[in-house]
Chains A and B, each alone.
Chain A
Amino acid sequence: MSKLLEINDLYVQYNTDEAVVYALNGINLSIDHGETLGLVGETGAGKTTLAYSIMGLLPKNVGKITRGTILYNDVNILNASVTEMIALRGHRISMIFQDPMTSLNPVIKVGDQIREVLDLHFPKMTSTEKDRRVDELLELVGIPAFRKNEYPHQFSGGMKQRIVIAMALIAEPELFLADEPTTALDVTIQSQILELIRQLKEKFNSAMLLITHDLGVVAETCDKVATIYAGEIIEYGSVKDVYSRKNNHPYTEGLFGCIPDLNTNVNRLTPIHGTMVDPTDLPDGCKFSPRCKYCMDICKKEIPPVYTVGDRQIKCHRYKEGRLE
């Protein structure tokens, strides 16, 4: 069976007045039916740009896909017309955004906002059927159905995120993009929302791309994990494999070292040296090389190819000879 989503050699740049921002630089990534892929990276790595590219939501005139294809069920959606995209968006592919406080319309009742998805994609559905679906979904995400006539400001952050999830799932999408769905929430609420996403994903058998900077969230939710740095996927593999913490890309290794561990006592963390590269002025060779503690001469000159190490793919010159140790 072919993959649900396949991204090949995707390049995206933002043409701003001052400079050209190279946001994505050759992304290759695929998601299977029903699979959960975690996309991990820091601010400015291109995580959200990738999600926007899939959804066709890149800012007009500024954001431009310069190369590559995004195949959804073997059809290149980059060539899809506006009407085709509208039919796809919210129905087959849906997305929840980072900030639940700003992704709802403040002057429309939440029930009507959820219903809008049905109005758009199921014109034949009767009004009573739509009402029934909205009630059903609200109850499913843990909000009493009678609250559908309230406005977003009457709900707390966690509740708003539940409403956004209800909206994204009402059409039972095949692919569900979640862009930092729990970053703005407290830990106890975060664990409630992650649990909810997990249950619903199973119920509707959707595939999910979970974008986050939190390695812990990925460990709890995902099957596969991809690390993104400066618009490139630098490591890709199963969560089990990557979290064994052996033979990681130096950047992934660095990310693990930055998180204080709950079970061991260390005196000092081992941070990654320096800061994220400037996407308007990318270095030659490996983009992580200026911060890498294993940097070799070749790293500064040649862009590393993707090496297959066990079941994992790593974009680093260190793995030329295969596995380390």
Chain B
Amino acid sequence: MDTPLIEAVNLKKYFNVQKGILHAVDNVNFKIRKGETLGVVGESGCGKSTLGRTIMRLIEATDGKVLYDGENIFDKNKRQMKILRTKMQMIFQDPYTSLNPRLTISDIIIEPMKVTGVIKDKSERKQRTIELMERCGIPQRYLNTYPHELDGGRRQRVGLARALAVNPDFLVCDEPVSALDVSIQAQILNLLMDMQDERGLTYMFITHDLCVVRHISNNIMVMYMGEVVEYAYRDELFQHPLHPYTAALLSAIPAIELNKTKRRELIKGEVANPINPAPGCRFAPRCPYATEVCKEPQKLREVSSGHFVACHLNQ
């Protein structure tokens, strides 16, 4: 068994809010092997973006470890972190706000090379920028334009080119296609997958769109109110969803086929905030199968090889 490229161990991120402690990310464990994609799905407010940012150390974790190639990144000092950032990069959700409006496209792509110092030579940087733009499908005429002159799809391509500028191994993609139209979404998804094949990139792909996550991932992790409720191989998860929440999510997707026979399981209510949560299952108030047992903490159990679920059902 090869060691995973990135691993999270009991990762926690709590925020102090007026009403108490908000458990945004609670005891999350996962491993991603080199060249694979972990999909993270959940509804808004389930902590998936916070998880992405904690792994990138854009926000400091409350507790736990993130191991990159076996080394805990939380132990690194500022200088070591800078070097590490050439290995891990992030693409953000909103291509309208994640690019500096006062920098030109070439400045934006060059900036990470400058900051991390991976390429010191000016003309070499320029050369690499042109290569990256071409590879990401941005015509060269945009070299000296500003972000506002580009449409959403092209801006997201710039976001990807910027992330790839330092030649990373690991990318956190936080909803990279949610703000785009479907025809553009497909272009960007294909580009991300091409890049993965070409460079052996490892992705953590955060999204709320189950169709997209199924398309791009090897493994999928379902989050609810800061906790992982199910983790499995892609096909296993879609064919045998075990957690009631996963099942509800899957049945809520409006399918583009007609005459389907699937039964729709509407779940009642809405996601609450995980502020000072009770020890039991956080989905229980909405769960149609909830019993007394659900007031006990539900640990992730491995029910079959590689399939983990945090629910007492399906024992």
Contacts and interface: CB of A to CB of B under 8 A. Distances in A.
B287 interface: no
Nearest to B152: A43
B185 A156 contact: no
B181 A213 contact: yes
Interface string A263-297: 10011111110011000000000000000000000
Q: Which of B214, B248, B270 has the most A CB atoms < 10 Å from its CB? A: B270
B182 A275 contact: no
Give 9 closest A-B pairs by Cβ, nearest first: A216-B254, A260-B215, A271-B186, A258-B186, A186-B43, A272-B183, A269-B186, A191-B252, A42-B181
A26 interface: no
Given A158-B270, A195-B266, A271-B190, A258 B258 contact: no
A219 B153 contact: no
Interface residues on B, range: 35 or more
A56 interface: no
Contact of B151 (A240, A266, A272, A275): A275
Contacts, number: 107
A192 B266 contact: yes
Given A191-B264, A219-B256, A256-B256, A271 B187 contact: yes
B255 A262 contact: yes
A43 B251 CA distance: 27
B143 interface: no
Given A42-B181, A255-B182, A258-B182, A219 B43 contact: no
A217 interface: yes
Nearest to A243: B258
A266 B252 CA distance: 22
Contacts of B254: 190-191, 194, 214, 216-217, 219-220
Interface of A: 42-43, 156, 158-159, 186-192, 194-195, 213-217, 219-220, 239-240, 243, 254-263, 266-272, 275-276
Interface of B: 43-44, 151, 153-154, 181-187, 189-190, 193, 208, 210-212, 214-215, 238, 248-249, 251-258, 264, 266-268, 270-271
Nearest to A40: B182
A259 B182 contact: yes
A275 B251 CA distance: 32
Given A268-B193, A271-B186, A187 B249 contact: yes
A159 B270 CA distance: 9
A188 B184 contact: no
Contact of A243 (B183, B186, B215, B256): B256
Contact of B186 (A217, A263, A267, A272): A272
Given A187-B253, A219-B255, A261 B211 contact: yes
B35 to A, nearest CB: 15
